[in-house]
């Protein structure tokens, strides 16, 4: 054991915890009796018919195998593969998120450059930011009139604030010395923005973008439960209505995995722009 | 002949926080000739850094003008390169890219190859070669960072190079090495340099002329001391030179005593306010064509 590295030991411990956890879960679920083991009385009263219950991990794995081996099938509005559902959710998240980035980053840049603008906009940002994104939903549905676009709007409105605030904060905090370097080299405002301020503020901006994508992924599930039709959020709710708890547990896991991947992507980007002083 | 750089009656006042005004320096005037290495010495608070920022165009004086090469200084310019005390390298760029950043700003029409070659050449002049130039500033020691900063400034051939306590954050040994490198690169470039320092020995080693400032508030440039030690200078040899300690004593006396005595003296109307030129030369008067020159004389220019 002494020869294992820190990471190896941690990985070993993780696997151990997973196995123990799954075993406890599996053991905690009472097995359902097979049809031939039922007594006459049980058969007559219907006590033996399949009851909905929390599925054991073995069933979830079987479900996952089944779903993941054919993720893109489409058998009508209420029966689509998990890949299609996640695809819809990612499409909505990315559309809303990119629109938010397109506005938040340039706007945050301008606010960060001017102390007056920073102070003038701050009260509005502080009031709008804590509003639960779903609270916008009725208004969005009424004004936009389209549920698909409303879901995207909700993503837009929830991911704009961390990006806006972090961009403004990052730009405002760029060291005076670096700006002076740009000034003594006669760089124009546009050139200064791109060659000095943007790289200097990039780690803070990326932090905001990473927070935003995390929030957007949290919100899309709830938004799709409301809006319905497609997407992973709708899928979870639909399977709950079908009392298919195995699918519910499976989709919960998938939400976690996709969220982790999105975060890891931004983590990678963040590492690329981070610099040591 | 008109001086290359002329600073006329520079005054800087700041609000003192209690409604009044604090005059950091008043009617500070001095001149710098082309190719000269001028060092300004003075206690903290006499406004050396403010003067530096005004010369760089990063700050505006309350009154007074700076004229360089026949033009009034307004705003920052590539003609006035600055080496800041804290290096001011861009930490997300490699050493080479940092120097290229400056070269590109100076010569936007150059190809990438030209820019890179020029930057590499100047890094080599301060002793940075090989793998080191592809490292980020955070991976360099303080001394190496300041060399990069010096290379970036020299690579741009500014008309005036401003050094704001460039060695202030370095240990004494590193400081010595980089002073030698600075002398070396300056010797090759015929660059006009204006430098701030707190270090008397550093000033004597590097300067053609040392400007002495009185204490603030209402500081002014009181004296201009010529360094009568021939170049090339070497830190171990200049201490043997007969003029070295005479000059050094004069500087120590000024900073220790006279900077305080002269402080806050109101400047008389009509006075040119140019600093008093001091020339100390103890070398054999027979070598001097204008013989019978007194060993110590003060001349009002």
Q: What pLDDT score was predicted for residue B299?
A: 52
Selected residues 184-243 of chain A with any CB under 8 Å from a CB in chain B: 184-187, 195-196, 199-200, 202
What domain range includes position A241? 56-273
Per-residue burial over A148-168, b = 16 or more CB atoms within 10 Å of its CB, e = otherwise:
bbbbbbbbbbbbbbbbbbbbb
Quick check: A272 contacting B, CB < 8 Å? no
Residue A157, both tokens? 């409105």
Question: Looking at the complex, does the CB of residue B84 fall below 8 Å from at least one CB of chain A?
Answer: yes
CB proximity A275 to B under 8 Å: yes
Q: Which of A177, A195, A199 sits opposite B84 (nearest CB)?
A: A177
Interface residue B35 vs chain A (CB under 8 A): no
Rounded to two decimals, the ipTM of the complex is: 0.83
Closest approach of A181 to chain B, Cα-based (Å): 7
Q: Count of A–B CB contacts within 8 Å?
A: 54
For A:163-182, CB contacts with B below 8 A are: 177-178, 180-181
Q: How many CB atoms lie within 10 A of CB B224?
A: 21
**In this complex, is the C-beta atom of B76 within 8 Å of any C-beta atom belonging to chain A?**
yes
Distance CA A230, CA A245 (A): 19
Nearest alpha carbon to residue B244 among B259, B234, B256, B254: B234
The tens digit of pLDDT for each residue in A107-150 reads: 999 999 999 999 999 999 999 999 999 999 999 999 999 999 99
- Encode chain A (277 residues) as per-residue pLDDT tens digits: 568 899 999 999 999 999 999 999 988 887 665 666 777 777 777 666 666 678 889 899 999 999 999 888 888 887 888 999 999 999 999 999 999 999 999 999 999 999 999 999 999 999 999 999 999 999 999 999 999 999 999 999 999 999 999 999 999 999 999 999 999 999 999 999 999 999 999 999 999 999 999 999 999 999 999 988 899 999 999 999 988 899 999 999 999 999 999 999 999 999 999 999 8
Q: Which residues of A touch B159 (CB under 8 A)?
A: none
Q: Tell me the residues of chain B between 110 and 129 that have a Cβ less than 8 Å away from chain A.
A: none
Tell whether B86 lies on the interface with A, counting CB pairs under 8 A: yes
CB contact under 8 A, B106 and A185: yes
Which of B75, B76, B160 is most worth mutating to test chain A (most A CB atoms within 10 A of its CB)? B76
Contact residues, chain A, for B78 at CB < 8 Å: 184-186
If contacts are CB pairs under 8 Å, which of residues 189-248 in chain B contact chain A?
Answer: none
CATH number of residue A73's parent domain: 1.10.3720.10
Q: What is the CATH number of domain B5-79+187-299?
A: 3.40.50.300
Inter-chain residue contact A186 with B77, CB threshold 8 Å: yes
Within 8 A of A275 by CB-CB distance, chain B residues are 91-92, 136, 138
Distance between A222 CA and the closest CA of chain B, angstroms:
40
CB B85 within 8 A of CB B78: no
Which chain B residues are within 8 Å of A177, Cβ to Cβ?
84, 86, 88
Where in chain B are the domains? 5-79+187-299
- Is A185 in contact with B90 (Cβ distance < 8 A)? no
Question: How far apart are the C-alpha atoms of A52 and B87, rounded to whole Å?
Answer: 69
pLDDT in tens, chain B (301 residues): 678 899 988 888 888 888 888 888 888 889 999 999 999 998 887 888 889 999 999 999 999 999 998 889 888 999 999 998 888 899 999 999 999 999 999 999 999 999 999 999 999 988 899 999 999 999 999 889 999 999 999 999 999 999 998 888 888 888 888 898 888 888 888 889 999 988 899 999 999 999 998 887 888 888 899 998 988 888 888 888 989 999 999 999 998 888 888 876 655 544 556 788 888 888 755 554 444 444 555 555 4
Q: Is B78 on the interface with A (CB under 8 A)?
A: yes
Answer whether residue A40 is part of any domain. Answer: no
Q: Secondary structure of chain B in the HEC alphabet? A: CCCCEEEEEEEEEEECCCCCEEEEEEEEEEEECCCCEEEEECCCCCCHHHHHHHHHCCCCCCEEEEEECCEECCCCCCCEEEECCCCCCCCCCCHHHHHHHHHHHHCCCCCHHHHHHHHHHHHHHCCCCHHHHHCCHHHCCHHHHHHHHHHHHHHCCCCEEEEECCCCCCCHHHHHHHHHHHHHHHHHHCCCEEEEECCHHHHHHHCCEEEEECCCCCECEEEEEECCCCCCCCHHHHCCCHHHHHHHHHHHHHHHHHHHHCCCCCCCCCCCCCCEEEEECCCCHHHCCCCCCCCEEEECC
- Cα–Cα distance measured from residue A13 to residue A50, given in angstroms and rounded to the nearest whole number: 37
Please state the domain count of chain A.
1
Do the Cβ atoms of A234 and A85 come closer than 8 Å?
Answer: yes
Contact state of A183 with B138 under an 8 Å Cβ cutoff: no
pLDDT of residue B1: 60
**Residue in A182, A184, A204 to test binding to B, most B beta-carbons within 10 Å:** A184
Could you give the CA distance from residue A257 to residue A89 in angstroms, rounded to a whole number? Answer: 13
**What integer pLDDT is reported at residue A131 of this predicted model?**
94
**CA dist B176 → A215, B171, B173, B205 (Å):** 55, 9, 5, 10
Q: Min CA distance, B134 vs chain A (Å)?
A: 14
Closest CB from B81, B82, B105 relative to A187? B105
How much is the pLDDT for B269? 47
Using CB atoms, pick whichever of A180, A184, A277 lies closest to residue B91.
A277
Buried b (16+ CB within 10 A) or exposed e, B9-24: bbbbbeeeeeeeeebb
Is A13 part of any domain?
no
What's the 3-state SS for chain A? Answer: CCCCCHHHHHHHHHHHHHHHHHHHHHHHCCCCCCHHHCCHHHHHHCCCCCCCCCCCHHHHHHHHHHHHHCCCCECCCCCECHHHHHHHHHHHHHHHHHHHHHHHHHHHHHHHHCHHHHHHHHHHHHHHCCCCHHHHHHHHHHHHCCHHHHHHHHHHHHHHHHHHHHHHHHHHCCCHHHHHHHHHCCCCHHHHHHHHHHHHHHHHHHHHHHHHHHHHHHHHHHHHHHHCCCCHHHHHHHHHHCCCHHHHHHHHHHHHHHHHHHHHHHHHHHHHHCCCC
B11 to B50, B212, B216: CA distances (angstroms): 10, 16, 12
Q: Is A195 in Cβ contact with B101 (below 8 Å)?
A: yes
With CA atoms as reference, the chain B residue closest to A199 would be: B92
Q: How far apart are the first and last CA of chain B?
A: 14
With tokens 């030690």, the residue in question is B229
Q: Which of B57, B81, B88 to mutate to test the interface with A (most CBs of A within 10 A)?
A: B88
In chain A, whose CA is at the least distance from the CA of B137?
Answer: A277
pLDDT of residue B285: 59
User: In A, which residues are within 8 Å of B91 by CB distance?
Assistant: 275-277
pLDDT at B292: 45
With CA atoms as reference, the chain B residue closest to A175 would be: B88
Query: How much is the pLDDT for B266?
Result: 59
List, in sequence order, every residue forming a beta bridge with B195; answer none if it has no partner: B39, B163
User: Is A48 inside any structural domain?
Assistant: no
Using a CB-CB distance cutoff of 8 angstroms, which residues of chain A are in contact with residue B88?
177-178, 180-181
Flag whether residue B92 sits within 8 Å of chain A, measured between CB atoms: yes
């Amino acid at each position: 054991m002494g020869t294992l590295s820190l990471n190896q030991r941690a990985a070993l411990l993780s696997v151990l915890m997973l196995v123990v956890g799954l075993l406890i879960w599996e053991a905690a679920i009472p097995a359902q009796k097979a049809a031939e083991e039922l007594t006459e009385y049980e058969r007559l009263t219907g006590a033996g018919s399949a009851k909905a219950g929390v599925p054991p991990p073995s069933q979830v794995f079987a479900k996952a195998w089944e779903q993941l081996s054919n993720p893109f099938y489409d058998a009508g509005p209420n029966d689509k593969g998990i890949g299609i559902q996640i695809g819809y959710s990612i499409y909505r998240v990315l559309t809303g998120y990119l629109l938010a980035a397109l506005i938040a980053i340039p706007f945050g840049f301008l606010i960060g450059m001017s102390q007056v603008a920073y102070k003038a906009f701050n009260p509005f940002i502080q009031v709008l930011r804590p509003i639960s994104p779903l609270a916008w939903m009725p208004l969005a549905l009424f004004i936009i009139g389209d549920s698909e676009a409303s879901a995207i709007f909700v993503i837009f409105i929830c991911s704009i604030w961390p990006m806006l605030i972090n961009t403004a904060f990052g730009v405002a905090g760029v060291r005076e010395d670096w700006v002076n370097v740009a000034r003594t080299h006669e760089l124009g405002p546009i050139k200064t923005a791109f060659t000095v301020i943007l790289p200097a503020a990039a780690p803070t901006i990326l932090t905001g973008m990473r927070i935003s994508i995390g929030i957007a992924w949290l919100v899309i599930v709830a938004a799709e439960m409301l809006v319905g039709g497609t997407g992973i959020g709708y899928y979870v709710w639909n399977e709950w209505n079908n009392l298919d708890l195995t699918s519910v547990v499976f989709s919960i896991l998938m939400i976690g995995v996709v969220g982790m991947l999105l975060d890891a992507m931004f983590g990678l980007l963040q590492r690329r722009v981070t610099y040591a002083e | 002949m008109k001086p290359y750089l002329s600073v006329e009656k520079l005054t800087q006042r700041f609000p003192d926080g209690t409604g009044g005004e604090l005059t950091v320096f008043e009617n500070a005037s001095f001149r710098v000739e082309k190719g000269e290495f001028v060092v300004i010495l003075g206690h903290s608070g006499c406004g050396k850094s403010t003067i530096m920022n005004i010369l760089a165009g990063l700050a505006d004086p309350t009154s007074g003008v700076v004229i360089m090469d026949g033009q009034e200084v307004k705003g920052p310019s590539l003609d006035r390169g600055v080496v800041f005390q804290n290096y001011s390298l861009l930490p997300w760029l490699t050493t080479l890219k940092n120097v290229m950043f400056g070269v590109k700003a100076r010569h936007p029409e150059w190809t990438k190859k030209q820019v890179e070659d020029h930057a590499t050449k100047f890094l080599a002049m301060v002793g940075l070669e090989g793998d080191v130039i592809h490292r980020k500033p955070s991976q360099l020691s303080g001394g190496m960072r300041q060399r990069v900063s010096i290379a970036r400034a020299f690579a741009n051939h500014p008309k005036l190079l401003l050094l704001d306590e460039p060695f202030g954050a370095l240990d004494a040994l590193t400081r010595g090495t980089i002073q030698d490198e600075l002398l070396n690169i300056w010797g090759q470039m015929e660059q006009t340099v204006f430098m701030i320092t707190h270090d008397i020995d550093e000033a004597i080693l590097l300067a053609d002329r040392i400007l002495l400032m009185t204490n603030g508030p209402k500081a002014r440039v009181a004296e201009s001391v010529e360094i009568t030690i021939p170049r090339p200078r070497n830190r171990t040899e200049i201490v043997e030179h007969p003029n070295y300690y005479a000059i050094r004593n004069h500087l120590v006396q000024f900073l220790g005593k006279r900077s305080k005595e002269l402080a806050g003296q109101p400047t008389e109307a009509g006075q040119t306010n140019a600093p008093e030129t001091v020339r100390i030369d103890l070398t054999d008067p027979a070598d001097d064509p204008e013989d019978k020159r007194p060993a110590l004389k003060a001349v009002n220019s």
